[in-house]
Structure 1
C-alpha cells in the first residue's frame, strides 16, 4: 500500500472497475461479440452474488456520461484521402522542449500560429488531464484577433486517459465552432498531446 501511494498507482478496486468498463466498451464496439445482445437486456441484481459485472460497468460509465450517449461501433475509423486532406498536423516541439525556457517555447508557438492562420481564424488551445483515482477533466479556450471569445471545460468523477480528455476537448471545440461560427472554414488547434496528434496524423477520426 505504501509503494502504491508513493507511485500514485490506482487501487485494485479502481483498476477492477476500469477493466470492467473497458471490456464493456469493447463489447459495444463489435456487434459480432457474443455478449453484444446482452447490452440490450435489463441487468438486475443476483440474490447471492450481487450485480453482474456488466451492470457494475454501466454504473461506472454513467459517472462519465449516459450510456445512451455512447455510439455503438468503433470509436476511431480510418478516413479516406479526401478527409485526410482536410487536416494538417504539425509536430515540431516534442517532450524534450519541456525543459526549454517558457519564452522560447512561446515564441515558437506564436510563429507556428502566424505561419498557419489568417486574421479571422479561430485559434483554439485545448487541454486534457487526469488526476488518477479522483477525476478527469478537459477544457479549451478560443482566441480570435488576439482576444478570448469563448472558454469551456468539463470534468468527470472517474479516471480515463489524458489523450481521451484531450480528444474530448477538441471534439467540444469543433461542436462549438459548428454551432456558433458555421461559416468558419479554417481553424488552428494547439495541443500538447503527442498521442492525439499522431492519431489524427495517421488519418484516424472519431466516428461521431
Structure 2
C-alpha cells in the first residue's frame, strides 16, 4: 500500500528521491487510530481530532520539496499536529523545532513521536508568531492556512532561508514560497491551491 501511495505521489509531480524514500520508510498508519488504519495510505487528509487533520501525503511531500532541505538545516514547523510532517523533516536530516497551538495535540504528539525514534524540539504556543527565541531558521514550514503573510515569520529566517506557507481564506489557500535574499529583500513565488485547517493565533484566525 505504501508503494502504491509513493507511485501516486510521483505521478503528481514529486521528484525528490530523498522525500519519497523518507515517506516509504515512515509507516503513516502509526499516526492513525486502529479503526482508521485502512485510510493511512490513501492520498488524502484525515481527521486526527481537535478539529485538526493529518495532511494529505502529496501536500506533505510538496511542502517539503519546496524547502529544499539539506542535512543539518534548522527548520521551524508551525502546526505539529500528528507529528508526521516533523518525522519526515527529521528523516531528511533537519534539526526540527515544532510548535502546536492545541494543547491536547501537543501533549499527545510529544508523548507519541519519541516512541518512533523522532525527537524534535516540541513547543506549545502561538505559532502564528513563530518561535523568535530560537531564530534564525534555514526554513519555516506552516501546516495551516494563514489569512495573511505573517511578517514575524519572515524576520525569523536566515538570509537564504525559505518560508513555505499557505495563505488564503479558511477554506482554500495558495501555497507560497518566500526566500530571504537579504535583510531587506524577499522573493515570492505562488504555487497551487490547497486546503488546510485554519492557522490559529494572534496572526492567524482568531
User: Could you say which TM-score interval applies, normalised by the shorter chain?
Assistant: under 0.3
Q: Name the structure, 1 or 2, with higher relative contact order (CA <8 Å, separation 6+).
A: 1
Q: Normalising by the residue count of structure 1, what TM-score does the alignment of the two structures yield? A: 0.27
Q: Normalising by the residue count of structure 2, what TM-score does the alignment of the two structures yield? A: 0.27
Bigger Rg over Cα: 1
